[in-house]
Amino acid sequence: MTFAANASRSDTLDMFQSGGFSKPAVAIGLFVAAAIAYFIQVIRQWHRLSHVPGPFWAGFSKWWMVKESLKGRQPTAIKEVTDAYGSLARIGPNELVTDDPELLRRMMAVRSEYTRGPWYNAMRFEPGRDNLFCMRDEVAHTKLRNKMAAGYSGKENESMEGTIDKQIANLVKLIETKYISGPVSYHPMDFAQKAQYFTLDVISDLAFGQAFGYLQHDDDVFDYIKITGAYIPIMLTVANVPSLADLLHSRFLRGMLPKESDKLGFGAFIGVAKKVVAERFGPSAKSKPDMLGSFIRHGLNQEEASGEALLQVIAGSDTSASTIRAVILNLLTHPSQYLALRSEIDASIGSGKISSPIKDSEARTLPYLQAIIKEGLRILPPASGAFFKTVPPGGDVIDGKFIPAGTQIGSSPLGIHHSQKIFGADATCFRPERWLEADEEARAEMERTVDLVFHYGKYQCLGKSVAMMEFNKIFVELLRRFDLSIVNAEKPAKIENAGIWIIEGFWVRVTHRESYP
């Protein structure tokens, strides 16, 4: 047997040496085998959802999604897909999108078995630490959400309205001090920048009891806007490939991510949030009537409070600022609607219907203002990512098609909010009058649909009440005092999308109104 074994090894060696089984041939064979296995897996994955229409090559890789995200036009591209292929369409190997509001409500309902998908892994702001927005554990999410609801609603933060009034006053003061133009003076103002200064100061004041001071300093404190303007698009592009997000947050690469020791940018904010929260958990800490105080009273620990404070700043500033910019941009490019809103404001002041500053409750009674706000939210839905949810065990039947468990279904924000079926043939136009002309049934359907910008059910944005209070106040307080006009008529602003609308270079000329009530 020993002789036979030696002979066998000798024969094999001879075959390698003679070229029968050369090392390159073995390597090529292994490569070919791996390629065939991969090809079979790709075909199986493609076949799994082949009954759902969509761009052909999108069914084989995520490159289509990444490419459109890198171009800054993913929401537009997804709308083009649903327009071309139907309400349920395929945009990735395991990814579908829908522009059906009713399906989204069913997916996000309180008792829905759908859960957040791996897309949310990229929404972690710190390695290995979930926040309310990215948390995929449904039980933990519900528990944390319940602890935070009172703080966001204002029930335990009675100064919410006064805080917003204070920051509007700071914005007005900044404009009057530095940005009023006249017959012989010209001081253009980047409204896009100032809108975010305002929302950052509002949310930091509400969250921590003290504003970060953007309006006071008229400066990008910590270079937050500059750095997050680069970071958030990357984060939302990476979300299309969740395995990359997991890799970035691994212990091998997490050093590349922002950290609390950074002096500027996102990392600096992490450090500020942790410092403020640590002070509130210290031995001499006292309970305060702000959001953070509410969170602590309802049981958030120090680590949870730090993460949620950071989320408040990010989620509560960029999205609100984009809507404020969108409304003002559309008003300035639609003079008749600008004048209609200003006339409603002036008439309401003249009749004593609104105070100075306007109260939230008063703003809700102004029909054209409310139409303007809804139209602004609709025309550029502020959070315009896909927000993929996972089909539950057992699968689902949608539009007569069986969708297997584990499939990711996202939303088409522009497809939903620019739906001609819901909003009319001119759905892509900014026309607030549609809200006043519609009958009761049509208006109710429009309102239910626009409300989806704040999501729905178990995922509805807790900051909705804060955002709506900002919108109810800021447009009235600006237009009652100032006349605004576009500086660059040929290109009023630079607009791109990276899951949120990035609006920059929105230069306006501001003058005092010659007379106002």
H or E, element range at 6: helix 2-18
Give the pLDDT of residue 114.
Answer: 98
Q: What angle do CA 403, 409, 414 make, to 5 degrees?
A: 130
> What is the mean pLDDT of the segment spanning 66-92?
94
Looking at the domain assignment, is residue 440 inside a domain? yes
User: Residue 515: pLDDT above 70?
Assistant: no
**pLDDT over 70 (residue 1):** no
Q: Residue 5: which pLDDT band, with cuts at 50, 70 and 90?
A: very low
What is the pairing mode between strands 401-403 and 396-398? Answer: antiparallel
Residue 414, H or E segment: helix 413-417
pLDDT band for position 269 (50/70/90)? Answer: confident
What average pLDDT score do residues 167-194 get? Answer: 97
Q: What's the rounded Cα separation, in Å, for the pair 341 and 367?
A: 10
pLDDT at 313 over 90: no
Residue 412: domain span: 58-512
Average pLDDT of span 412-418: 97
Say how far apart CA 467 and CA 477 lie, in whole Å. 16
Q: What is the pLDDT of residue 20?
A: 54
Q: pLDDT tens digits, residue range 422-443?
A: 999 999 999 999 999 999 999 9
Lowest mean pLDDT among 97-101, 178-182, 286-290, 379-383: 286-290
Whether residue 51 is contained in a domain is answered as no
Q: If phi over 0 gives left and psi between -120 and 50 gives alpha, with beta otherwise, what is residue 169?
A: alpha
Is the per-residue pLDDT at 14 higher than 70?
A: no
Residues 6+ apart with CB under 8 A from 341: 331, 368, 369, 372, 475, 479
How far is 100 from 98, CA to CA, in rounded Å?
A: 6
Domain count, the chain: 1
Please list, in sequence order, all residues whose beta carbon lies within 8 angstroms of the beta carbon of residue 505, skipping any fewer than 6 positions away: 190, 192, 488, 491, 493, 494
Structure tokens at 35: 């390629």
pLDDT tops 90 at residue 9: no
**Residue 220 binned pLDDT confidence (cut-offs 50, 70, 90):** very high
Q: Which amino acid is at 215?
A: L
Cis preceding linkage at 367, omega within 30: no
Q: Residue 387: helix, strand or coil by DSSP?
A: coil
Q: Is residue 238 part of a domain?
A: yes
The CATH number of residue 395's host domain is 1.10.630.10
* Annotated binding-site residue? 429: no
390 Rama class: left (phi>0) / alpha (psi -120 to 50) / beta? beta
Domain assignment present for 34 = no
222, pLDDT greater than 60: yes
Residue 217: burial class (beta carbons within 10 Å; 0-12, 13-18, 19+): exposed
Q: What φ, ψ does residue 185 adopt, rounded to 5°?
A: -135, 150
Q: Taking a C-beta distance cutoff of 8 angstroms, is the pair 242, 232 a contact? A: no
Place of tokens 């003679």: 18
Q: Quick: pLDDT tens for 480-509.
A: 999 999 999 999 999 988 778 889 999 999
Q: Which helix (H) or strand (E) holds 305?
A: helix 302-332
Rounded Cα distance, 413 and 253, in Å: 33
Indicate if the pLDDT at residue 12 is higher than 50: no
Q: How many CA atoms lie within 13 A of 202 on its CB side?
A: 32
Beta strands 95-98 and 408-411, pairing class: parallel
More confident residue, 232 or 91: 91
Q: Is residue 11 included in any domain, yes or no?
A: no
Kindly indicate the confidence band of residue 379, based on its pLDDT and cuts at 50, 70 and 90: very high
Average pLDDT over residues 22-34: 74
Residue 449 lies in a domain: yes
What's the pLDDT score for residue 516?
58
Q: Is residue 9 part of a domain?
A: no
Q: pTM of this prediction?
A: 0.90
Among all chains, which residue has been given the structure tokens 């029909």? Answer: 367
User: Which has the closest alpha carbon to 51: 401, 467, 405?
Assistant: 401
Alpha helices in 19-59 (DSSP H): 23-48
DSSP letter at 492 equals S
The 3-state DSSP class for residue 445 equals helix
Q: CB under 8 Å to 20, separation ≥6 — which residues?
A: 14
Is the pLDDT confidence value at 447 over 50? yes
Taking the alpha carbons of 28, 31, 35, 37 in that order, is the dihedral positive or negative? positive
Are 438 and 90 a contacting pair, CB within 8 Å?
A: no
Whole-number average pLDDT of the chain: 89
Distance CA 162, CA 398 (A): 47
pLDDT of residue 3: 42
The answer, yes or no, to whether residue 16 has pLDDT greater than 50, is: no
pLDDT in tens, 39-50: 777 788 888 999
Whether 250 shows a pLDDT value over 80: the answer reads no
DSSP 359: P
- Looking at residue 138, what is its pLDDT? 95
In a domain, 66, yes or no: yes
Distance CA 375, CA 434 (A): 9
